[in-house]
């Protein structure tokens, strides 16, 4: 026995609590009363929890850890309430960091729906006010649109004659020239200007992001960092940290591809679901079927209610989906597909149903986001045992726009987390960071209260979809473990499970639900080692 944590409230599952937990060799050896575990503790390290509540280490079931680290080093535009503030923050960043002329400066986090001066996306004319000497590239918080200045357009060679890109678009201004706004796959034209970090820089970026995750009680992430053009470097960067004992978060890699040929090469190189270790493991193929609701690029069955003639963007065709699914089924690869709009979700369900005509989902394929739904779509999830990887924190923003975007009726059946539970759909929680920050308690608060972070509306938005506290914690822990085939190994504080846990400042199970968002993580333990302490 290596350690005893005692005099606490240890969550062991619905309605089950203990006072103490014993840790040995990175695993939980026993849970029970403080008296019984201390009696056999011997010279084990003893930590008095002072009555604090302990939950399993949180598992973010979809995010972009590498981009979290990069975003922490970029222009921070989250929370900007005006176009003027975006410009001011960007100028201040350049003044502080003094990048060389001709270099590329990036930022992330703006959301034009929050702007109080001009409720539109920034364009090149706005960003020319920041600098004409540097290429300025700032990405919308959702990651599905970006804005750049004229210098960036010039460096990328983008003109009115540049052809549009399948699965994306760049806007043309009133002057007949590209206005600096790029969406979906077209973003790659500009993103090519951003220099890839070196191997050593990548390691430091990952370590920065892991430390940030640990500070919020996260011990495992399911992260979309490996892509067709970088998977070997990214895998090696993560694995080098594991080999050195420098990784503080367990990683399940969601692997993004744009061509079936590249995907088949990846699998031929030996990368398959389950390859790796508890610390760094290959997970599912990750595909992008549409965009985001905020950018009106989520793929809808009908026109957007607030923009006639717009149905969003299809980022992958049904034929491509079928080809990816055939390769996945043949090679035993799990699949997780981004789908937000109801047409995108329908399209992905169709692909899954064709690939699994017997209705068995042994590979635990899932849909990431699952935002705009009706009951028949959710019933198809349940019938096919399709998993949902959802982000309750999205409610903070989306509840204010969803009715305008898709109409009251469809909005009322969307973000239907309660209905998903009633139908028995496996669903796990995440943040899609850096789309949202890794603030785990705010994520849980949104699932439990259905309110935004200011407490609106008082009764909760579509309150019949609220999730009970214990169930919400399970979605963020044991259900996340299910998505990586680890439900018998992590996600619960029981004997034989990995000693991954988080100590909270307040009792999440009894505190007023409105105060859950203010709970702090005081300590995070991964594999029996303290990786964060406030």
For residues 435 and 447, what is the distance between their CA atoms, to the nearest angstrom? 17
Which residues lie below 8 Å from residue 95, measured CB to CB, with a gap of 6+? none
Q: In whole angstroms, what is the distance from residue 336 CA to residue 333 CA?
A: 10
Whether the CB-CB separation of 135 and 149 falls below 8 Å is answered with yes
User: Do 443 and 396 contact (CB within 8 A), yes or no?
Assistant: no
- Bond before 35 cis per omega within 30 degrees: no
Tokens of 244: 């050195």
Give the span between the Cα atoms of 203 and 208, in whole angstroms.
9
Q: Which CATH architecture has domain 82-191?
A: Roll (3.10)
CATH 3.10.310.70 boundaries in the chain: 82-191
Judge contact between 478 and 491, C-beta under 8 A.
Answer: yes
| Angle of helix 342-355 versus helix 375-384 axis, rounded to 10 | 20
CB 108 within 8 A of CB 75: yes
Residues 6 or more apart whose Cβ sits within 8 Å of residue 460 = 449, 450, 451, 466
User: Hey, what's the torsion of the CAs at 290, 291, 297, 303, to 10 degrees?
Assistant: 40
Name the 3-class secondary structure at 328. Answer: helix
Q: What is the structure's pLDDT at 301?
A: 98
pTM of the model: 0.91
Q: What pLDDT is attached to residue 1?
A: 87
Q: Quick one: which of 132, 133, 125, 145 has its CA closest to 77?
A: 145
Could you write out the three-class secondary structure of 120-162? CCCCHHHHHCCCCCCEEEEEECCCCEEEECHHHHHHHCCCCCC
| Residue 160: count of CB within 10 angstroms of its CB | 10
pLDDT of residue 295: 87
β-strand pairing of 387-390 with 366-369: parallel
Cβ-proximal residues to 189 (8 Å cutoff; 6+ apart), any chain: 156, 158, 162, 165, 170, 182
Sequence-distant (≥ 6) Cβ neighbours of residue 406 within 8 angstroms: 293, 300, 304, 305, 342, 372, 414
368/2 Cα distance (integer angstroms): 39
**Are 124 and 179 a contacting pair, CB within 8 Å?**
yes
What distance lies between CA 291 and its chain's CA centroid?
Answer: 14
| Cα–Cα dist 496/246, whole Å | 24
Nearest-angstrom CA–CA distance, 177 and 392 = 39
How many residues are recorded in the chain?
534
Residues of the chain within CATH 3.20.20.140 domain(s) are 199-524
- CATH T-level fold of 199-524: TIM Barrel (3.20.20)
**Cβ proximity of 128 and 177 under 8 Å:** no
Please give the angle made by the CA atoms of 222, 226 and 231, to the nearest 5 degrees: 140
Helix (H, G, I), strand (E, B) or coil at 530: strand
Q: What is the pLDDT along the chain (534 residues), one digit of tens a residue?
A: 899 999 999 999 999 999 999 999 999 999 999 999 999 899 999 999 999 999 999 999 999 999 999 999 999 999 899 999 999 999 999 999 999 999 999 999 999 988 999 999 999 999 999 999 999 999 998 888 999 999 999 999 999 999 999 999 999 999 999 999 999 999 999 999 998 899 999 999 999 999 999 999 999 999 999 999 999 999 999 999 999 999 999 999 999 999 999 999 999 999 999 999 999 999 999 999 999 998 899 999 999 999 999 999 999 999 999 999 999 999 999 999 999 999 999 999 999 999 998 889 999 999 999 999 999 999 999 999 999 999 999 999 999 999 999 999 999 999 999 999 999 999 999 999 999 999 999 999 999 999 999 999 999 999 999 999 999 999 999 999 999 999 999 999 999 999 999 999 999 999 999 999 999 999 999 999 999 999
Task: List 22's β-bridge partners, or say none.
Answer: 4, 30
């Amino acid at each position: 026995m290596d350690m005893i944590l005692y005099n606490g409230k240890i969550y062991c599952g619905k309605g089950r609590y203990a006072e103490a937990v014993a840790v040995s060799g990175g695993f939980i050896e026993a849970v029970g009363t403080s008296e019984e575990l201390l009696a056999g503790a011997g010279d084990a390290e003893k930590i008095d929890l002072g009555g604090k509540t302990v939950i399993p280490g949180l598992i973010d079931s979809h995010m972009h850890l590498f981009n979290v680290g990069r975003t922490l080093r970029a222009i921070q535009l989250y929370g900007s309430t005006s176009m003027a503030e975006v410009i001011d923050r960007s100028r201040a960043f350049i003044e502080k960091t003094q990048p060389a002329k001709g270099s590329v400066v990036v930022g992330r986090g703006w959301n034009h729906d929050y702007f109080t001066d001009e409720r539109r996306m920034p364009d090149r004319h706005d960003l020319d006010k920041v600098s004409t000497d540097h290429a300025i590239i700032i990405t919308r918080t959702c990651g599905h649109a970006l804005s750049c200045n004229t210098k960036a357009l010039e460096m990328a060679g983008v003109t009115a004659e540049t052809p549009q890109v399948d699965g994306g678009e760049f806007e043309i201004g009133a002057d007949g020239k590209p206005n600096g706004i790029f969406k979906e796959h077209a973003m790659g034209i500009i993103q090519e200007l951003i220099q890839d970090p070196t191997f050593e820089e990548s390691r430091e970026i990952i370590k920065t992001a892991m430390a940030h995750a640990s500070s919020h009680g996260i011990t495992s992430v399911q992260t979309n960092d490996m892509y067709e053009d970088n998977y070997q470097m990214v895998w090696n960067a993560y694995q080098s940290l594991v080999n050195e004992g420098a990784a503080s978060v367990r990683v399940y890699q969601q692997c993004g591809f744009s061509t079936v040929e590249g995907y088949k090469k990846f699998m031929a190189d030996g990368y398959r679901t389950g390859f790796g270790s508890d610390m760094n493991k290959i997970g599912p193929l990750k595909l992008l079927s549409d965009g985001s609701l905020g950018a009106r690029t989520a793929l809808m069955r009908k026109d957007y209610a607030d923009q006639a003639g717009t149905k969003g963007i299809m980022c992958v065709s049904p034929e491509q989906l079928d080809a990816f699914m055939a390769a996945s089924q043949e090679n035993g690869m799990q699949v997780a597909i981004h789908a937000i709009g109801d047409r995108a979700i329908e399209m992905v369900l169709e692909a899954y149903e064709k690939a699994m005509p017997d209705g068995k989902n042994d590979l635990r394929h899932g849909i990431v986001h699952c935002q705009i739904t009706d009951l028949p779509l959710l019933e198809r999830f349940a019938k096919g045992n399709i998993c949902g990887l959802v982000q309750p924190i999205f409610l903070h923003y989306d509840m204010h726009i969803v009715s305008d975007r898709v109409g009251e009726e469809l909005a009322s059946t969307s973000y239907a987390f309660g209905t998903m539970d009633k139908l028995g759909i496996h669903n796990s929680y995440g943040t899609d960071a850096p789309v949202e920050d890794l603030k785990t308690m705010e994520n849980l608060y949104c699932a439990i209260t259905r309110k935004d972070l200011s407490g609106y509306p008082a009764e909760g938005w579509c309150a019949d979809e609220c999730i009970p506290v214990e169930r919400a914690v399970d979605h963020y822990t044991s259900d996340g473990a299910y998505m990586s085939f680890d439900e018998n190994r992590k996600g619960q504080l029981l004997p034989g499970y990995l000693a991954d846990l988080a100590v909270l400042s307040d009792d999440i199970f009894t505190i007023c639900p409105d105060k859950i968002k203010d709970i702090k993580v005081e300590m995070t333990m991964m594999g029996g080692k303290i990786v964060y302490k406030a």
